[in-house]
């Protein structure tokens, strides 16, 4: 995904969902550091948001590459939000 897509999605996310996404990213990062695996609730939220914005690009929770791609995308969106503040 290019920078323009990240920016467009970052700008479209509601304030309420932005808070949820940021929290999900934090939960995942903590869980990965402590347990070596994703936080299931946080990961599910990121996948749900992915499919809301990209209904034609299917990603599956059971796919390791998909988990990495979805979490990396939302981490990049979060970096965009941080630059805006």
Are the C-beta atoms of residues 28 and 42 closer than 8 Å to each other?
A: yes
Give pLDDT tens digits for 44-84: 999 999 999 999 999 999 999 999 999 999 999 999 999 88
The H-or-E segment that residue 50 falls in is helix 40-53
Give the global pTM: 0.91
Are the C-beta atoms of residues 12 and 53 closer than 8 Å to each other?
A: yes
């Amino acid at each position: 995904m290019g920078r323009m897509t990240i920016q467009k999605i970052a700008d479209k996310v509601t304030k309420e969902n932005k808070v949820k996404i940021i929290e999900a990213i934090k939960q995942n990062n903590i869980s990965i550091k402590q347990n070596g695996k994703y936080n299931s609730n946080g990961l599910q939220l990121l996948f749900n948001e992915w499919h809301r914005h990209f209904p034609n690009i299917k990603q599956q929770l059971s796919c390791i590459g998909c988990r990495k791609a979805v979490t990396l995308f939302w981490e990049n969106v979060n970096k965009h939000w941080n630059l805006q503040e």
